[in-house]
């Protein structure tokens, strides 16, 4: 018995069998480097977190997200060129890495540049600079009760007025709410959830309860940010409103990092590069200077 095989099918089998081969691809930039994370603010302390970067094909421990870098020489350079070595503190627990390099008792000055340098024999030396922004004072806060919602909360509109100085500036608005009953007993406490009234300030991908914005739409000495939030009814409340003058690196880091996290797993989204300002390594050195006010909201307001 003869079996007839179509020529197209026959040649397809030959083509598939002849194409089985291995292709070696070089992935540049996979050598481990130090990754830094630090926040500069007007306090007298500074924490620097150092970890080791991993290549895309490197094995990863499911329970440990970061590889800590111990034994590094980390120091701060102040605006006068003085060098301050930083000590190492390890408070890690199983599956909870928590170690950092620490400097205490230092006075950080507004509108001044600071540099962090980290050296380790196994990795390239890294460095990064940051300027501490000036504190922008809150001029006034106005809270208006817009009425009850369908649930047990009422909606409030909050207007925060301040002066936007010359130059390019970046801001973050955050806060908390503390509710207590008629006897003065604290009842509930939570973070404030500000929703900007101006849609230009709204970013649905933010992973924190904050508003982060620049000064493109602000009006100098008559600047304001208006947002709405829901608060519990039938309780007196203390609203703590924070206005932070942040560095451009702070703004760009959280803007890109939150966008990357929110789009993770979405194969149709465009890739997002997280902002990095560390020379010869990875990470972020950011700065923030915060002014805050407490506003009391009564039940009858």
- Which CATH number applies to 138-297? 2.60.40
Strands 138-148 and 73-77: unpaired
CATH annotation of 34-131? 2.60.40
Instruction: Give the length of the chain.
Output: 301
Which has the minimum average pLDDT: 15-19, 102-106, 177-181?
Answer: 15-19
34-131 and 138-297, same CATH topology: yes
> Are the CB atoms for 137 and 47 separated by under 8 Å?
no
Residue 83, H or E segment: strand 83-85
Q: What share of the chain is helix, strand, coil (3-state, %, to 5)?
A: 10, 45, 45
Any idea which residue has 């990754």 for tokens? 35
The pTM assigned to this predicted structure is: 0.84
List the Cα angle 284/257/102 in 5-degree steps.
30
Please determine, for residue 251, whether its predicted confidence score (pLDDT) is greater than 50. Answer: yes
pLDDT of residue 264 exceeding 90, the answer is no
From CA 118, how far away is CA 126, in angstroms rounded? Answer: 5
Read off the pLDDT of residues 57-97 as tens digits, 9 standing for 90 and up.
455 554 456 789 999 999 999 999 999 999 999 998 887 88
- Beta bridge partners of residue 85, listed in sequence order: 75
Q: How confident is the model at residue 243 (pLDDT cuts 50, 70, 90)?
A: very high
Sequence spans of domains, the chain: 34-131, 138-297
pLDDT at position 181? 74
Least confident of 32-36, 52-56, 99-103, 197-201: 52-56
* pLDDT single digits (tens) 121-179: 999 999 999 999 999 999 999 999 999 987 888 999 999 999 999 999 999 999 999 98
pLDDT at position 300 is 66
pLDDT band at 183 (very low <50, low <70, confident <90, very high): low
């Amino acid at each position: 018995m003869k079996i007839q095989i179509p020529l197209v099918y026959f040649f397809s089998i030959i083509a598939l069998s002849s194409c089985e081969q291995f292709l070696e691809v070089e992935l540049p930039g996979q050598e481990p480097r130090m990754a830094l994370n630090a926040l500069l603010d007007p306090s007298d302390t500074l924490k620097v977190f150092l970890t080791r970067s991993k290549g895309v094909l490197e094995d990863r421990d499911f329970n440990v997200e970061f590889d800590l870098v111990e034994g590094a020489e980390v120091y701060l350079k102040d605006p006068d060129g003085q060098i301050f070595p930083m000590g190492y503190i390890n408070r890690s627990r199983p599956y909870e890495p928590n170690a950092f390099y620490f400097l205490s008792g230092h006075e950080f000055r507004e509108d001044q540049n600071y540099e962090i340098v980290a050296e380790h024999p196994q990795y390239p030396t890294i460095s990064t600079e940051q300027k501490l922004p000036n504190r922008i004072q809150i001029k006034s806060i106005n809270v208006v009760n817009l009425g009850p919602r369908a649930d047990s909360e009422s909606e409030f509109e909050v207007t925060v007025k301040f002066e936007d100085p010359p130059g390019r500036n970046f801001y973050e608005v955050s806060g908390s709410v503390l509710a207590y009953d008629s006897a003065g007993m604290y009842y509930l406490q939570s973070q404030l959830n500000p929703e900007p009234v101006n849609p230009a300030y709204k970013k649905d991908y933010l992973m924190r309860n904050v508003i982060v914005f620049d000064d493109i739409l602000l009006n100098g000495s008559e600047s304001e940010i208006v947002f709405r939030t829901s608060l519990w009814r039938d309780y007196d409340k203390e609203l703590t409103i924070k206005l932070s003058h942040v560095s451009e690196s702070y703004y760009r880091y959280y803007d890109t990092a939150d966008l990357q996290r929110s789009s993770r797993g979405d194969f149709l989204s465009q890739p997002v590069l997280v902002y990095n300002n560390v020379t010869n390594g990875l990470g972020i050195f950011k700065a923030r200077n915060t002014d805050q006010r407490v506003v009391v909201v009564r039940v009858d307001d």
